[in-house]
Structure 1
Amino acid sequence: MTAPSPPRLSALVVARNEAAQLGDCLATLAFADEIVVVLDRTTDASAEIARAHGARVLEGAWEIEGERRNAGLDACTGDWILEVDADERVPPALAAEVRRVIAASAHAWHQVPVDNYVGTRLVRHGWGGSFGTTSVPRLSRRGAKRWKPQRVHPGLEWRGSEGPRLAHALVHHVDRDISDMLRRLDRYTDARAADLVARGEVGSTAANLRRFVSRFCKCYFARGGWREGGWGLLVSLCAGLYPLLAHLKAKLEPERHGAAPREAGDAPGEEAAAPAGTAAR
């Protein structure tokens, strides 16, 4: 009797103007049976770099992060899909583990650990609050995962059960330096403000001040940001500031985020909590 064929693996990268990072990322994905690269409104050499690494390229324009990630999932033909961002690398030990897991797993999806680097420094502790994560749900069967239509940190819908978290980590070059970290906070809060305005859920300043305090404390104390010295303090502050800055942008400058100016005062509504392990870059 003929032995069953091993499951096919698609590696998916969704990027926008990531020519400086994309080649190194794709070089670590050669173990996959298929590489799909989705390029959103890209004007640099990313398409040429992707094709040089044997990737199938899908180019288009998607304002909503969840929609462009779903376009990538739909383009994959493998039995399993590993999602990797352009600033991430898959070390050989993780690549081998992914192959072992998809060959034997009875589950629909698995979390993958993340080692986050700021420049050359590994910062293990303090990530969270929609500003970073140490684990992401990136390995899933085709058809098991759908991203919700949100601009930043979109939520997820799942079909099937979650399996054990993998042991080996993605390498994530999250920020080049402190200035890059602050620019990322600005981008994230711009996108979050647009989501808040679009849904009419700007929320109250008082609630977001409380959220700032609770998120900072959770990241700095409960998640061990204090272990990282000043780096952990910075990460924890950014995690706490994320909902507060997004709220203030949506409240004070709604015209910059897709809506006519509102009257003074706080609109009702609360920020929906992002599922664990979902992050956008």
Structure 2
Amino acid sequence: MITANIITLNEEKNIAECIASVAKVCDQIIIVDSGSNDATVNIAQSLGATVVHQAYLGDGFQKNVALDYASNDWVLSIDADERLSEEMVEEIKKIDLNQSQYDAYAFRRKNMIGSRWMKECGWYPDFCVRLYHKKRARFADVKQHASIKSENICKVKADIIHYSFSHIGQLFCKPGRDFSGRAAKIMYLKEKKINSYSPFIHGLSAFLKKYLLQKGFLAGVDGLTVSISAGLSGYLKYARLLELKQDASVLKKENFNKIW
């Protein structure tokens, strides 16, 4: 059988549908909550999930917490704003996990803006490893952009649906998430070297990659907006890193024990 692994923070709008989605293939559901002050925990417990309380450690570290509580060897990791497509459910049910020669399985991620499927800008097929054997694979212990690395992964042609953003405005300011500040603090702790040109160079590079190389221009306003957002994000995280290195008063106010 399979254990679902879901990390949460104030996901009362998403958690019920997420649990209902993974319950189609999982017999155990573990929620690792990092201090929700809404109804997330109560909803999860009412639906039979086991809730583990853990202050946020960073992406990879947080996603590995559930492994100590998982009663199954196979774990399905999913975010609260993601859902299993019916196709994905059927493909998972077809797999004989007891006899599997693979360490993990990757699925295409179908990223959405509102109800619109974003295919360009590198957003699809965006294969992500989500089903893995906990004794043979796990998320890298890093604080951002964690993924499962293995030489023995099977790519499954089925989609996990990611309701990334409710509308295009969230591309620039998603509630509760300071992505540029998070990235800047992590880079600062890693002693990342930059200069005064770094924000401009990285911002422009990110925009051009999304809009030209990954064909964002084919997606109309959505493609342009995603590309601008990527450019702005690239610019801001390096601008904020530069600020941390150059302004002692700003640096003093930052709490590096809290990434978010």
Which of 129, 140, 143 does residue 147 from structure 1 map onto? 140
Pairs aligned (count) = 247
Q: Distance in 2 between matches of 1:109 and 1:240?
A: 33
Query: Residue 116 in 1 paired to residue 111 in 2?
Result: yes
SS in 1 for 2:22: coil
Q: Offset at 1:202?
A: 5.0
Match of 2:197 in 1: 206
Q: Which runs of 5+ in 1 are unaligned?
A: 1-7, 260-280
Query: Residue 134 in 1 paired to residue 129 in 2?
Result: no
Superposition pairs of residues 239-278 of structure 1, within 5 angstroms: 239-253=230-244, 254-255=250-251, 256-258=253-255
**Higher RCO (CA < 8 A, seq sep 6+):** 1
SS in 2 for 1:145: coil
Match of 1:29 in 2: 22
Q: Distance in 1 between matches of 2:13 and 2:159?
A: 22
Which portions of structure 1, spanning 4 or more consecutive aligned residues, are displaced by more than 6 angstroms? none
Match of 1:177 in 2: 167
Q: Distance in 2 between matches of 1:105 and 1:210?
A: 45
Contact 1:127/1:236 (8 A) holds in 2: no
Q: Distance in 2 between matches of 1:63 and 1:190?
A: 16
Q: Distance in 2 between matches of 1:77 and 1:237?
A: 44
Indicate how the Cα distance of structure 1 residues 157 and 117 shifts in structure 2: closer, same or farther if over 3 A, else same: closer
Match of 1:98 in 2: 92
Contact 1:202/1:250 (8 A) holds in 2: no
Contact 2:30/2:70 (8 A) holds in 1: yes
Q: How big is each residue's C-alpha offset from its partner over 1:112-169, in whole Å with a ceiling of 9 and x where there is no partner?
A: 11111111111111146xxx9822121211131133231x323x464x5332311111
Match of 1:161 in 2: 151
Give the fraction of aligned pairs with identical amino acids, expressed as a percent. Answer: 22
Indicate how the Cα distance of structure 1 residues 102 and 246 shifts in structure 2: closer, same or farther if over 3 A, else same: farther
Contact 2:111/2:161 (8 A) holds in 1: yes
Q: Which stretch has the larger CA shift, 175-184 or 208-217?
A: 208-217
Question: What do you get for the CA RMSD once the two structures are aligned?
Answer: 2.4
Match of 1:39 in 2: 33
Which of 39, 48, 52 does residue 58 from structure 1 map onto? 52
SS in 1 for 2:156: coil
Indicate how the Cα distance of structure 1 residues 221 and 201 shifts in structure 2: closer, same or farther if over 3 A, else same: same
Contact 1:202/1:251 (8 A) holds in 2: no
Contact 1:105/1:163 (8 A) holds in 2: no
Match of 1:89 in 2: 83
TM-score, normalised with respect to structure 1: 0.79
Q: Distance in 2 between matches of 1:209 and 1:29?
A: 42
Letter in 1 for 2:131: L
Q: Offset at 1:205?
A: 3.8
Q: Offset at 1:9?
A: 0.9
SS in 1 for 2:105: strand
